[in-house]
Structure 1
């Protein structure tokens, strides 16, 4: 049955290899079951329910990707998108988390339509690479800022907006150790490095009496507080247009980049570099996003950590299915997830931020018409506290700078349209 479903022999792999690859991928991305509930809890959501939604959304996404698309690419609620959900849409713009979930659901449906009608290629190809890079790097800076605030390393200051906090406090010290430990383990190639670092910092928190031991395993908590709690009434505000587009764009670019990167690493592309069954893979991602919103979590997306499983020999959807099964098993470790303090996830957030910033190396800094919009996008996300505003201003800056520099022809129709929409959004309010 497995041979027929996943074409193991055709892809030069075996059941044992695929399972080992799945375990490897899971260990590298399992930190999300601790980090996602912590971030969405700041939006007022029930932490236990989000934990269950995270595991279920990840499992469903992995099963669809594995069985329908037959790719060794795992899925889970995405980093950056969860920060946007909490700190921009809910805390920054003042919307309820129920409205934010509705925006995630709609972005997933739009993603499904783009995949079905094959508009994805047109959108991705028409958005400048520099802007895509700026969006990713800007989210990385935003995550880093959130991580520092969670640990108390950066605090509010009425004169300078922010300043250095008490770096000798226990949370700041443990957060710093967690970050150093994360980087050291990743550098040494340790599987599950991020998760090991999170658990180690939590153990130190328990040892110093800052964290109370709550047990290791139990029956999963109720998902009722977040299940089907979407509120569509707030989506009719003009400001929510940019929110839905931001969810859509970030998920679209993140997924496209991950699919290309993992497929090339696994040797699954054709002679022209194209990805077979691309629409099926995109449908898996977009469907998982909408289902995840119904369960109670932010956008579900493809994880670049899947490369770890590919490096271990994963070549088919059985790898993704294995990851999905492990996420279901993780449901029984909710007491452990509930003990994780905010500062224990600081290292993970900072590490992800570094990965997202690495794309800046591809920007042509000698061409100011390309570099300036990237800088606008990157800097204004953390400085305005809004990923959506950073994306909006980045598009506007790109179009305006190109036009005034005599390079208006370099701007695609879609960028002009999006820039106009974002201008209207700011004008109308």
Structure 2
């Protein structure tokens, strides 16, 4: 199998993982019949506009408001779609969130709210607590993203600086009945951390948020520290305002990994698929080193005529920003993997974010081949220097090995696949 053929297989299994998480394919069977009376649809996240489109395909035009990332809007007949910034919030997100709060306020027991939540809602739903400005909230988000803190820890901080996260959006809609349909993009699929859990109670405290800032050395404005010292409105589990809320995760990384495995079996009959899990976390370059060691071990054990091996994993890796390059967790994983493999024959890999955006770049991820380092040197790129500068996206752009999908309209976290071919 040539490098181009291996890359085509890897791209096909990634595309299949994204396809099965498309809300237009997966949401309808989790949608109940449209309730009588007033129905309000709200939502936020990179998949939320596509989710709204899927809802209206079943229910017809609906009243509502959904906030998604710039470029991710979809045509809806009744639900208003607003685009805003991600991963750092902006004024458009703040204005839309204020309107969403107004829309939900004053609903009664006979009303029904359908909430559509996916990854990205943490930035798109933005309503800073009293005393904290949008600019200060933006500074906190940027610092958290550069800190290397895991997503659940970042979301703990975000919740206690918000008036809508940590169950607070659902509390606004009380006493209306609410169904929240979610696409998980967090390791472990804990609904409290999908989009910072706007419809889910949370037992964490402002002290927990302060501990995160201290543990990862996140510098924040004085107003933020003062706000955390005063407490927050995060709604605890069991609160009466959440009694009529049902939270359902209807799409998750494990489903996409399974679909990828099935696609690989169709393309490479007899392939052995090894699953490392859908909840891997850690520093991208450290996880890459571990997976490179595993790939080397597998490759050493293959003989001519043996089956190919595909190693799949999901989860959410992090990057501690050390340089001023352009990168993201998936591209950095690929760069660190290439360095760790050092041209290991017959090992090919792909790592991409299923939402089509790795870090802040409009690039899903990258592909690695045995000749990646050799080709880089030919065009004047030092892989080790690029990794030190967190410059993985520009590195793979120079090789033509970026994976660019455009908006995928879904988000089930990172996807990684290593293909190890037998000799001969």
TM range (shorter): under 0.3
Q: Which has the higher strand share?
A: 2
Whose RCO is larger (CA < 8 A, sep 6+)? 1
Which is greater in Rg?
2
Q: Which has the higher helix share?
A: 1
The TM-score normalised by the length of structure 1 is 0.25
